[in-house]
Amino acid sequence: MLQENINEGDLPIPALEGEKLDYPLANLTSWHIGGKAERFFLPASIEKLSDYLKTLPAHTPVTWLGLGSNVLIRDGGIDGAVICTRKCQELEQRPDGTLYAQAGLTCAKFARFASKLGFPDAAFFAGIPGTIGGALAMNAGAFGGETWEWVESVTLINRHGEFIERTPKDYEIGYRTVKAKHPQPEEAFVSAVFRFPKGTNDGMTKIRDLLKKRSQTQPIGTFNCGSVYRNPPGDFAARLIEACDLKGYRVGDAIISEKHANFIINCAHASAKDVEELMKTIESSVWGRFNIKLHAEVRILGKGNNT
C-alpha cells in the first residue's frame, strides 16, 4: 500500500485544555466586526494563563485581546492563538496604599474603586473604554489624564509563561505610546501597581461629571472603537476630519459619526474592509488638505478574506 506524504500543516489542530478552535471574535469587540480565531483561550486567572502558554506549541503566534475596544479585527480572522484576558480582574488596595489591578479589569471599574477609596485623580480612567492591560500597552488617557503617570510597577508574562517585574524606568513613555528600552519578544502586561495621592474632592462626583461630558460629545451607545486616530501635535484629529467635510461619510455600513468626527460607527453589518476603506479616505483627505499625516490609535489585527 502506498502511504501519502502528509505535511504537518495539513493535520487538524488539536485543542489544548480550555481552548476553543475556529472561534468567532466579532462579538468580543466593541465594533462587533471581525473574523475567527484559529485558537481561542479565555484564562480564568493569570496562573491559568501561565499554564496555557507553557503548553502552547512554540511556533504558534499569539495575539492578545482585552475588551476589544481599540482593535479592528480583519474579516479573515487571526491565525494562531488569541488570548482574551477579560477574566483576569483581580483588584485590591495593598497595605502600603497602592492599588493592584490585573490586565482584564475594565478601566471604568478601576476608576470607581479608586475614587471610592479617596483617590479622585483616578477618575479619568472612567473615560477609557477598555481594560487596564490595553491602557498600559498604549498609555491610554482621557480628560487630560494618562495611565503611566500613576504606574509604580508592572508585571508582564512572556511566551514561556514566565512572569517579569518592571518599573516605568524600563520604558520610554509618550502620548499614546509605550516602548520598552530593552524590548523582549512576545511579552504582555498582566497586572500593574498604581499609586495615587489622597484627595479632598469627591471622585465619584468627578466621574459622573466626566461621563456626562463624554455622552454630550461622543456617540455613546453605538458600535465604535473609541477614537480612531491620535491627535497630532497642537491639533485635534476630529477637527481635521470635520474640516474635510467627512462627518456622515459612509462606506458600506461603516460611517463617520455626525457627533464626533474621530469616531467610526458600525451602523448595521459593517465589515473590517468597510472600516479600512473609510480610514484610507480620512487619511488621504487630511493629508491632501492639511499636509498632516494621521496616525491610527486603533490596532488592526488579522488578515483579509483574500489573504
Give catalytic residue positions: 176, 227, 297
Sign for the pseudo-dihedral over CA of 249, 254, 259, 263: negative
**SS3 annotation, the chain:** CCCCCCCHHHCCCCCCCCEEEEEECHHHCCCCCCCEEEEEECCCCHHHHHHHHHHCCCCCCEEEECCCCCEEECCCCEEEEEEECCCCCCEEECCCCCEEEECCCEHHHHHHHHHHCCCHHHHHHHHCCCEHHHHHHHCCEECCEEHHHHEEEEEEECCCCCEEEECHHHEEEECCEEEECCCCCCCEEEEEEECCCCCCCCHHHHHHHHHHHHHHHCCCCCECCCCCECCCCCCCHHHHHHHCCCCCCEECCEEECCCCCCCEEECCCCCHHHHHHHHHHHHHHHHHHHCCCCCECCEEECCCCCC
